Amino acid sequence: MRDCRAEILQTVQSLCQEHLVLGTWGNVSTREDDFFWITPSGMPYDCLQAEDLIKVELTTGKAYGPWKPSTEWRLHAAIYAGRPDCAAVVHTHSIYATAFAVANQPIPPVVEDLVQIVGGGVAVAAYALPGSEALAQRTLEALGEKNAVLLANHGLVGIGKSLNEALTVCRIVEKAAQVTLHAKTLGPIREISQDEIEIMREFYLTAYGPGLKREERQ
């Protein structure tokens, strides 16, 4: 049986170890039926326990637990409502991705792993105050059908069908942002075409991963 709270704790440990968040900023959630579990507001990740995590109703926003939910719970709720294919949301303040967010510049589709897992480049959601309903709706709009979006002057949101995928999205976006900044110092960069993006995205969705060898599928 899936243990949502254990998955969240493992994810936040990875975020801290990989310096994708600092202090108590950033947040993580995963969906379970008509609820989602989310990290509490303002609590250091290194001391979080399973009982500290908050359960929030998707339709009403009612929270259950000993603490307040993350101030960004509205953003998570909006994504789950607007993207039924999404089962996990990871919000980071990683350095390179946030640099693009501060510059209000999208991360272009320049590396293959980015376009495969995200579905193209990463757009920037228009600025709104943290924790606001406006930020939630602008994030959902800019996210579209992709798996990542930048929050202007704020950070990065990655989503997926699992916490592992959402975390991988954040890792890949951060790497792509770093690669892009370095590549621009060498000269003009080549963006991957939309036709190429669609081919690679389709491959990721339908054929990527270990699966069964061809002879075993027959």
pLDDT digits (tens, 9 = 90+) for 131-157: 999 999 999 999 999 999 999 999 999
Pairwise CA distance, residues 207 & 173, whole Å: 21
CB burial string 46-66: b at 16+ within 10 A, e below: eebeeebbbbbebeeeebeee
pLDDT at residue 215 above 60?
no
Task: Tell me which DSSP letter residue 50 carries.
Answer: G
Mean residue pLDDT across the chain? 94
SS3 at position 121:
coil
The predicted structure's pLDDT at residue 218: 43
Distance (Å, whole) CA 119 – CA 87: 17
Cβ atoms of residues 143 and 79 within 8 Å: yes
Residue 217 has pLDDT above 70, yes or no: no
Residue spans of beta strands (DSSP E) within the chain:
27-32, 35-38, 54-57, 63-64, 88-92, 124-125, 148-151, 155-160
What pLDDT score was predicted for residue 97?
A: 98
Residue 46: pLDDT band (50, 70, 90) is: confident
- Greater confidence, 61 or 218? 61
Q: What integer pLDDT is reported at residue 5 of this predicted model?
A: 96
Question: CB neighbours of 60 closer than 8 A, spacing ≥ 6?
Answer: none
Closest CA to 98 of 40, 20, 172, 32: 20
In this structure, what token pair is assigned to residue 78? 């909006």
Which residues are bridge partners to 124 per DSSP?
Answer: 150
Q: Which of 72, 145, 174, 215 is catalytic?
A: 72
User: Collapsing DSSP states into helix, strand and coil, what is residue 53?
Assistant: coil
Supply the pLDDT for residue 212.
46
For residue 35, pLDDT beyond 80: yes
For the entire predicted model, the pTM comes to 0.94
**Please, what are the domains in the chain?**
4-208 (3.40.225.10)
Catalytic status, residue 145: no
